[in-house]
Each structure stands twice: as structure tokens, then as C-alpha cells.
Amino acid sequence: MADSGQARSAADSVTRARDIDRAQVSTVLDAAYAEGQLGAQEYHDRAARAGTARTLGELERLTADLQSPAVFGGQAAIERKRFGRRHSGEYPARTRARDIDRARTTAALDSARADGQLDADEHTAFTELASEARTLGDLSTLVAELQQRPAAPVKPKARNTFRIATIAAVAVVGIGCFVWTVRGDEPAPAVAAADAINYNAAPPLVIPTPKLTTLVGFVQFRDDYRVKFGDTLVDEAVLHDEHASAVRRAPENPNWTADYGYRGGFARSSSQITTRKRDAIDIDLAHVNAEALGAALTNAAATVRVPNGAVTHFRIANDSWVGRPGITIFVRNEVAQSGHFVLALSGEVLKTYPYEG
């Protein structure tokens, strides 16, 4: 049987993927991002790879470290596609943690502080680590010595192979536009009382995220940044239309830096940290003249003479091109004509690199 299983696994790794297979994996990645298992950059990287995957083995690797997602709206659990592998019991330690896993660990730490298992310093340090934890193993280490620990997430039992139960993934223009549905002939499993949520208590409030390459988008990014970190200091920030990234001092040590992705909210891009560059300086987003930046973004194509151009992204950093903090705005059109220019934080144009057509 082992030889048969290994043979099937080897066959799966080279079997060609269908569009529906790529769509299903993209759907799982969408859910994993929404649940906090993936940071913004990881999500975009994996989604792009899912769209170009040629084999089932390539698709399997994109979801191998993810928990099976739950359907939005509190419906039944959905299996993650495992391409013929059985999966039950607890997830391995390298499996990505969800926001709810981090919240449960934080609640356990709060209880441990209240009943005297942790002192104030330990509680503060462990809580910060829990909020940044990327894997279930990271979280379990933080509560390993406590008397009351949150239950480890359990994989849903596989019902069939080569399908994600109860998902209908409908491919439309591009990757990631899919419809979630639940089979009516299978009742939803009972929800534990501690996790029960009344989804009918109030109608959902949907607040669209503006394009980040606009004045309104930048202001929202800056406001969300202040709420998340308590200040507006960055080493570097890069804003695209629908997502952004930021580098700032790591909470573990001010001599280190940590990367964060943003897509309506901030998440640590990886658990890795790097030594902060000696010439790095704190750039205060509050010092950016938002109105001047908005005007520069609106007129960017004309500034760099790119016909029918649009802003692809802009970068706020201590720029070696101008010898001080600046905002570099990049413009491109559909035929790859491009240019860029640099603003001071106060809004004046410092340097222009127009399209030379």
C-alpha cells in the first residue's frame, strides 16, 4: 500500500493541472489571506504562481502549509485540496496561523497573566510575539508551559480526493474572481458555543478600499498605519493600486527591521528580521504634504510625458538619488513607455526622469 501511495503521489506531481484546479487553489489562497494565514506579498506571489501552474504538484506546494479555510459568513468548513493525500488530526507545526489562532493564544496569555502564571513583562513580550506569529508552532511555543492552553486547530476529515468539498469556483476575467457555495444535502457541523457568532445580528458593512495611488488612498493608508503601530514612522513604504508594503523598526529590537504587507490592514510579511541599515532614518508619514502628493499623482503622466500613462506605484524612502527622504512616483502606459519623478515630502518636484520618445 505504501508503494501504491508513493506511486500515486509521484504521478500527481507531474499530472497536468486544469483551469478548475488552478481556480480552486486560488480560491483557497483568497480565503487564507482573508483569515490572516498569508501576508499581502505572499498572497500575491502565490496567486500569480497558481495562475501559471502547469501540474498538480505545483498547485499542491502552494497550499501545503495552509489550514483548510472556512467559508465566509460562518457556513460549513471547507476542505483544502490535498490531491489524493489523507489528512486528519492536528496540523503540523509549520502550518500557517490564522488571525483567530493568534487571538485565542492572546486570550490564553491574558488568562495566564490574570491567574499569576505570567508576570507583566512576560505577558507583554509573549503577547507581542503572538500578534506577529506566522505558524501554529510559533503560537504553541508561547503557551507550552501554561496550565490552560487553547486547543490546537484540527484538520477536517477528507471525504473525497481531487476536489475541495462544497466549493464551486467559477473562473471569470483574471484569477481570484470566484463564487463560494455550500452543498444543501450536507448539514453544517455543529459550532462550539465559545466560537458561535450571530451573523444575523446586524447587516455587514462593506467599506470599499480606495486606490492607494490616490490622495484618498494614501490618507487611508497613513491613518491605518497610525492605528496599527501607534506612530507614522517608516524606513520605506511602497504603495500600489490595491496593496502596499512598509518597512519599519522591528518590535523585538530597534536595531532590526520588519516588513509588513497592507491590503486594507497590516500583516507581518514574514517572521524573518534583518539588521537595520546604518544610514536608515525614520521617515514620518505625517510630514508628507498629502494635498501636494495627490496633485502630483493626478498630473503624473503629464509631468513625465508618458502618453495615456497611469501611476503604477510610488515609493517613500530615504532616496540616494536626491540625498534625502523623497517620494518617487512611477508612471507607465500600455505600450511600456515609462518615466518617474521625485518629490520632497513637502511636495516640490526634486528630479524628473521623463519618457524620451
DSSP 118-139: S-HHHHHHHHHHHHH--BHHHH
Name the residue with higher pLDDT: 263 or 152.
263
Supply the pLDDT for residue 179: 37
> Could you give the CA distance from residue 350 to residue 323 in angstroms, rounded to a whole number?
10
Supply the pLDDT for residue 282: 92
pLDDT at 178 over 70: no
pLDDT in tens, 222-272: 999 999 999 999 999 999 999 999 999 988 888 899 899 998 889 888 766
Residue 316 CB coordination number (10 Å): 23
Name the residue with higher pLDDT: 146 or 179.
146
Supply the pLDDT for residue 320: 64
Supply the pLDDT for residue 204: 47
> Could you give the CA distance from residue 234 to residue 283 in angstroms, rounded to a whole number?
5
Mean pLDDT of 47-75: 79
Query: Residue 307 half-sphere exposure, CB side, CA atoms within 13 Å?
Result: 4
Q: Which phi and psi (to 5°) does residue 323 adopt?
A: 75, 15
Q: Which residue has the cell 489528512?
A: 87
> Could you give the CA distance from residue 351 to residue 151 in angstroms, rounded to a whole number?
56
> Could you give the CA distance from residue 92 to residue 228 in angstroms, rounded to a whole number?
30
Residues 6+ apart with CB under 8 A from 95: 65, 66, 67, 135, 136, 137, 153
3-state secondary structure 265-331: CEEECCCCCEECCCCCCCEEHHHCCHHHHHHHHHCHHHHCCCCCCEEEEEEEEEECCCCEEEEEEEE
In this structure, are residues 298 and 309 in contact, taking their beta carbons and an 8 Å threshold?
A: no
DSSP category for residue 210: P
